[in-house]
């Protein structure tokens, strides 16, 4: 990733978006991490839906994605794609540890 990065160590549960036909899975970033992202990383670099570019490492998997603010949860949501869930043998409700890098222009 280029630009300025902030790195966060995160431990949180994987959950499935309720009521959808498609299987969308997310990790809700902890309140402290979400607050720090809002204060340090959010701002004029925000993209669609207030998303922020991110790189995630979970186990042996690293991928580029975005995190999205949830007004309802007052936290950022990290989508976890199927190929990562399969490679890392993740199931709904599993507690996971990951490294999150947020990229901002600089």
Which pLDDT tens digit goes with each residue over 53-76? 999 999 999 999 999 999 999 999
Helix (H, G, I), strand (E, B) or coil at 85: helix
pTM above 0.75, yes or no: yes
3-state secondary structure 14-75: EEECCCCCCCCEEEECCHHHHHHHHHHHCCCCCCHHHCEEEEEEECCEEEEEEEEEECCCCE
pLDDT of 39 reads 82
Mean pLDDT computed over every residue of the chain: 88
CATH of the domain at 64: 2.40.30.100
Instruction: Give the structural domain span for 74.
Output: 4-104
| 70-99 as b/e: b if 16+ CB within 10 A | eeeeebbbbbbeeebbeebebeeeeebebe
- The structural domain count of the chain equals 1
């Amino acid at each position: 990733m280029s630009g300025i990065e902030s790195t966060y160590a995160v431990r949180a549960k994987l959950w499935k978006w309720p009521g959808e036909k498609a299987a969308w899975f997310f990790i809700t970033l902890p309140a402290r991490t979400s607050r720090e992202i809002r204060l340090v990383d959010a701002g004029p670099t925000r993209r669609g839906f207030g998303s922020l570019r991110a790189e995630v490492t979970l186990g042996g998997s690293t991928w580029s994605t975005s995190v999205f603010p949830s007004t309802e949860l007052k936290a950022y949501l990290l989508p976890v794609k199927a190929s990562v869930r399969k490679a890392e043998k993740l199931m709904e409700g599993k507690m996971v540890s990951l490294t999150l890098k947020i990229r901002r222009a600089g």
